[in-house]
Amino acid sequence: MHLDHSHEGPAAVGADALRPDGRRRALRVGLGGPVGSGKTATVAALCRTLRERHSLAVVTNDIYTREDAEFLLREAVLPPERIQAVETGACPHTAIRDDISANLEAVEDLEDAVGPLDLILVESGGDNLTATFSRGLVDAQIFVIDVAGGDDIPRKGGPGVTTADLLVINKTDLAPYVGSDLGRMARDAKEQRGELPVLFTSLKGQDGVAPVADWVRARLAAWTA
Ligand SMILES: Nc1nc2c(ncn2[C@@H]2O[C@H](COP(=O)(O)OP(=O)(O)OP(=O)(O)O)[C@@H](O)[C@H]2O)c(=O)[nH]1
Ligand SMILES: [Mg+2]
């Protein structure tokens, strides 16, 4: 049985926000979602957009490989010492929700090695609609789906779609080719999520990640306030 922490509130900015040396730790943002929806592409684009102004690091999770980390290294989105891979060896959600020890170790190692850091992005391995992060691991979570996965995904709900702090619906450039109705996706997402935000992106376009980067900047501002 999997523990579901999705109903816990956001982590309080309290003692948990401080490192043993008394400095504020980095804001930790998790990215989850189905296989191939664009999580790594979003992480890469966020790094390129935010790295000038902020001190960043990334943790990737893959089941048996280090492919996502290797992609980010090849693309040189950050210096290599700021990218860490966790090989989960099991269902991806297990490592972000049920036994978060390997991921916690990775984020703490990064802060020790290259800190102080403003932001650590933790990418989950691609998983199903129930995949959510433990609030013991991340302060906020982004759920990335894409229009090519079917325009009924927001309507199907599941904890990723309904409770993530931000829902990203990616690959809008593909909508005409796969017959996805973006208006319907927006209405269904609103119905599932109420006031929680939803952003549409196309990472193939110029600066396509900008709305997500703005959302992350707002979270960072709140974290450091
Ligand atoms: N057309 C289009 N392709 C995209 C977009 N975003 C990502 N892709 C492509 O989609 C494929 C999968 O993207 P990834 O970022 O690797 O997806 P992921 O969610 O990290 O995949 P896993 O980690 O394997 O679950 C890649 O070929 C990307 O280039 C987009 O906005 N539009
Ligand atoms: Mg990936």
**Span 38-51, pLDDT tens digits:** 999 999 999 999 99
Query: CA-CA distance, 68 to 144, in Å (whole number)?
Result: 15
Contact 48, 203 (CB under 8 A): no
Q: Which of 48, 37, 62, 40 is nearest to 168 (CA)?
A: 37
Is any ligand 1 atom within 6 A of the Cβ of residue 150?
no
The ligand 1 atom nearest the CA atom of 127? 25
Ligand 1 centre to CA of 181 (Å) is 20
Nearest CA to ligand 1 atom 1: 171
Is any ligand 1 atom within 6 A of the Cβ of residue 68?
yes
> Which residues, 6 or more positions from 93, have their beta carbon under 8 angstroms from its beta carbon?
2, 32, 124, 127, 128, 130, 131, 132
Contact 31, 142 (CB under 8 A): yes
Domains identified in the chain and CATH numbers: 23-224 (3.40.50.300)
Q: Which of 94, 88, 99 is nearest to 64 (CA)?
A: 88
- pLDDT given at position 2: 37
Is any ligand 1 atom within 6 A of the Cβ of residue 222?
no
Is any ligand 1 atom within 6 A of the Cβ of residue 170?
yes
Nearest CA to ligand 1 atom 11: 36
Nearest CA to ligand 1 atom 6: 38
Is any ligand 1 atom within 6 A of the Cβ of residue 121?
no
Q: pTM higher than 0.75 for the full model?
A: yes
Burial of 75 (0-12, 13-18, 19+ CB in 10 A): middle
Query: CA-CA distance, 31 to 43, in Å (whole number)?
Result: 8
What pLDDT, in 10s, does the model give residues 119-164? 999 999 999 898 899 999 999 999 999 999 999 999 999 999 999 9
Mean pLDDT of 83-112: 93
